[in-house]
Chain A
């Protein structure tokens, strides 16, 4: 559903891609044997502008500590299709993957993924992560929020302070943009209609679409890619929109007059998961425990606008930086966590209805 959206701060982005095994990329042989049960891990990350962050915060330190090779491979698309194909074919190009919490439910739980908890139980690092930000199959490493963001130059006098304001085009005028996707759109629709954030799930689809009816004609752009929203905020193509916090932050970092509304934002997290039946399950478990450590998650934040899932990380993050992170306690208290289980079970139906609604 939603892609992992860690984004760089503009200042850092310039050096974030002097990457990978430069020469090795060129030298990849034509025929390669599939990853054997050696002391090396191949882990998928979403790549892109923060590709370097995964290496610096997780892969390289673990390689040093555990004395193994960690190879990061990048696939930007939702990786669930690849994982299904790999496990079904028994060809483990990856040992593990950075997954969105919703990906886990899409992969129907244990059918394609191993539990991250080994025989020794939950490790000391992973235990520090709040229960709502982990499961048997995925320990949260970083999290992001679906927020409302607006241009202060055009909407500064009458800023939208909630999704109810976003829906109220008459009193809070301005061009709007909403994601062309059910996930992260139905929740704001219900919040705007007066549903309390702790009473959202299971989503009342009828009510959500009635609410969307009210705003449909006022949505100037239905966006599809997150980068599009940064662009629109930067150029002022629209005055306010619903997007991921990282996308809005990129525009702010580049000098755009944009403000993020954290109230009632929807929180999602991502973490590392293990492919079912792969050759390096135990080593992956060690890696995941390592990636749960406060200092490693704090290191990741230096390159990205995702918040750490280990609350102890905030002891290590400078306050100015901590302020823009979604897991900062003052923001996090105002949010709700997306119900991945509901979406895993209902995504197909909800999206089908959403597409039909758009056509109608």
Chain B
């Protein structure tokens, strides 16, 4: 569907078209919404960091940040965790996304269920699953010792490795889905064309396919990196003494010592750090990689670095292509490809993906047998067989009520988020207008600011207008945090969409609505569905905002799961997780069936 000008669009800002230098109306709803429900409450809250605890203007909190080495060190440790999580997620997710993008639709839908599996179980359940699997007396060590592979238990968690395992596992689905949205839009004929011109497998992949996937890789990297910065539960449970994340320090100040001024100062530090990283990212890759050049077409200072980076990138891909081609030639001598069989490189891909799928699915599948245990803890092997934990869930109006509420909240949040963010993403991807960079920053900002600040800020705002403690408050709060995810994923898709299709439709006499409905939408549909699902999942799994803006009056599923996990690691959590897993898989399969009958569906083109 895409054509070669995608490649051009990723490296050069699209030329300004006439009439594009005014503010786009499509961006107004998002801008107004975020200004009112994000900027105002959060800036109000953070600004108290510039006052001392008696209320007079002061920089004492910032002085403390500089004077006490702890905060700088923890910030660096946090960035390190986020960076390596990003790295492992991209490396692991790329082959999986590639496999998905190049599989038959029916296969792909099954695989998508597998990839999304971790998302349907609360982050706490997954973390405890890793503890039970990888602990000193865990399932893996039991196997290793039983087979005499190791004498003493291997230390796999309570260190940096544990943090990486937990975080990569938690965020890899995000990376896969973001990259998949872009890869699905790549025309397979391009690599075929290269093949007819004599390009070998390595060259075809590294010189043609890989550069086309860069927008997906870049957005996935950015999303994973930012999301990692805000993680704290997983590192706290799986890490060692040195794996403290900066958000933990903020939460300590907010919740335990009530020094909101100092918490605000740490928040400002985090935001500034992130903006610096964002600027470096822009200089090296260019925000245009994610979609829509943030800066205007003028050859600004940054472009020199970017050109340089571009040249380095080209050199690297060329080198990789040569190495891969050489390797394929060498190995082909040893393992001759059978006619009609699976090609050599495809076989390798299957093997790698099988391992990654095992990594993704293992802790999730683990909850199924454990949910039938007759003991009061998550243990391996479970003592079977009991249905008590399921009985507890089904007999409890609280759990059923919370599940229903979370589902409804997530559905509304995702719909409203899409309604706001999709038009904005189109404008950002396609048009140049004044204030575009500012809008970019505004849309990304909720990602950067830790949720706890959004939660507290919104509580004050909602109290004033009298909606604190309602379901509406949760929906509004969640909409704020899903908007960036929707914009980024939709941007990546729209960016990969060949506008010549629209022009072609227009020359055939199609109206703008007809063009969108009949031409544009069918192509970008799968990306939109993926984006909707992100929004849904993020809202469905969100805890901090739900806790704060409701004052505990409205109970959501993550809140119940969190309480259960903090106060007792009961197998009821496993039962809930298993139920979610089954019901969500049914929803996805049902949507696939409807699609086959001509309706909407997942992963269609």
Chain A residues whose CB sits within 8 angstroms of the CB of B467 once the complex forms = 31-32
How far apart are the CA atoms of A75 and B544 in the complex, in Å? 11
B533 located at the interface, meaning its Cβ lies under 8 Å from any Cβ of chain A in the complex: no
B566 & A348 in contact (Cβ 8 Å cutoff): no
Chain B residues whose CB sits within 8 angstroms of the CB of A19 once the complex forms = 396-398
The residues in B between 8 and 49 inclusive whose CB is less than 8 angstroms from any CB of A are: none
B70 & A48 in contact (Cβ 8 Å cutoff): no
B306 located at the interface, meaning its Cβ lies under 8 Å from any Cβ of chain A in the complex: no
A8 & B551 in contact (Cβ 8 Å cutoff): no
The residues in B between 226 and 282 inclusive whose CB is less than 8 angstroms from any CB of A are: 236-237, 240-242, 244, 249, 252-260
A307 located at the interface, meaning its Cβ lies under 8 Å from any Cβ of chain B in the complex: no
Chain B residues whose CB sits within 8 angstroms of the CB of A73 once the complex forms = 551-553
How far apart are the CA atoms of A352 and B252 in the complex, in Å? 10
What string of 1s and 0s marks CB contacts (under 8 Å) between B41-71 and chain A?
Answer: 0000000000000000000000000001110
B135 & A235 in contact (Cβ 8 Å cutoff): yes
Report the contact-size class of chain B (Cβ under 8 Å from the partner). Answer: 35 or more
What string of 1s and 0s marks CB contacts (under 8 Å) between B280-307 and chain A?
Answer: 0000000000000000000000000000
B470 & A222 in contact (Cβ 8 Å cutoff): no
Are A93 and B468 also in contact (CB < 8 A) when A348-B259, A359-B244 are? yes
Are A75 and B570 also in contact (CB < 8 A) when A235-B377, A356-B70 are? no
A14 located at the interface, meaning its Cβ lies under 8 Å from any Cβ of chain B in the complex: yes
A267 located at the interface, meaning its Cβ lies under 8 Å from any Cβ of chain B in the complex: no
How far apart are the CA atoms of A31 and B551 in the complex, in Å? 14
A49 & B570 in contact (Cβ 8 Å cutoff): yes
One of A61-69, A80-88, A310-318, A326-334 contacting the partner = A80-88
Chain A residues whose CB sits within 8 angstroms of the CB of B335 once the complex forms = none
A170 located at the interface, meaning its Cβ lies under 8 Å from any Cβ of chain B in the complex: no
The residues in A between 79 and 103 inclusive whose CB is less than 8 angstroms from any CB of B are: 80-82, 84-86, 88-91, 93-94
Chain A residues whose CB sits within 8 angstroms of the CB of B500 once the complex forms = none
B70 & A352 in contact (Cβ 8 Å cutoff): yes
One of A22-30, A142-150, A194-202 contacting the partner = A22-30
B535 to chain A, nearest CB (A): 20
How far apart are the CA atoms of A255 and B70 in the complex, in Å? 42
How far apart are the CA atoms of A17 and B394 in the complex, in Å? 11
B325 located at the interface, meaning its Cβ lies under 8 Å from any Cβ of chain A in the complex: no
B261 to chain A, nearest CB (A): 12
A227 & B569 in contact (Cβ 8 Å cutoff): yes
Among B257, B379, B400, B551, contact of A86 (Cβ-Cβ < 8 Å): B551
What string of 1s and 0s marks CB contacts (under 8 Å) between A209-229 and chain B?
Answer: 000000010011110111110
One of B92-100, B215-223, B557-565 contacting the partner = B557-565
A44 & B552 in contact (Cβ 8 Å cutoff): yes
A122 located at the interface, meaning its Cβ lies under 8 Å from any Cβ of chain B in the complex: no
B472 & A30 in contact (Cβ 8 Å cutoff): yes
How far apart are the CA atoms of A348 and B266 in the complex, in Å? 14
The residues in A between 1 and 45 inclusive whose CB is less than 8 angstroms from any CB of B are: 1, 3, 5, 7-8, 10, 13-14, 17-20, 22-23, 25-26, 28-34, 44
B461 to chain A, nearest CB (A): 9
Chain A residues whose CB sits within 8 angstroms of the CB of B255 once the complex forms = 77-78, 80-81
Among A3, A82, A94, A231, contact of B569 (Cβ-Cβ < 8 Å): A231
Given A18-B397, A227-B569, 16 more contacts at CB 8 Å?
Answer: A7-B567, A17-B392, A22-B401, A28-B553, A34-B466, A47-B567, A49-B564, A73-B551, A73-B553, A77-B255, A89-B459, A90-B463, A219-B241, A222-B240, A231-B377, A359-B74
Of all A-B residue pairs in the complex, the 9 with the closest CB atoms, nearest first, are A22-B397, A48-B567, A93-B551, A91-B463, A75-B552, A89-B463, A25-B401, A73-B552, A358-B241
A-B contact pairs, 29 of them (CB 8 A): A5-B567, A13-B570, A18-B395, A19-B397, A31-B467, A32-B553, A33-B466, A46-B567, A48-B566, A73-B551, A74-B559, A75-B547, A81-B254, A81-B548, A85-B548, A88-B460, A89-B459, A89-B460, A106-B258, A107-B258, A224-B236, A225-B236, A228-B131, A228-B237, A231-B569, A235-B137, A235-B138, A237-B131, A359-B74
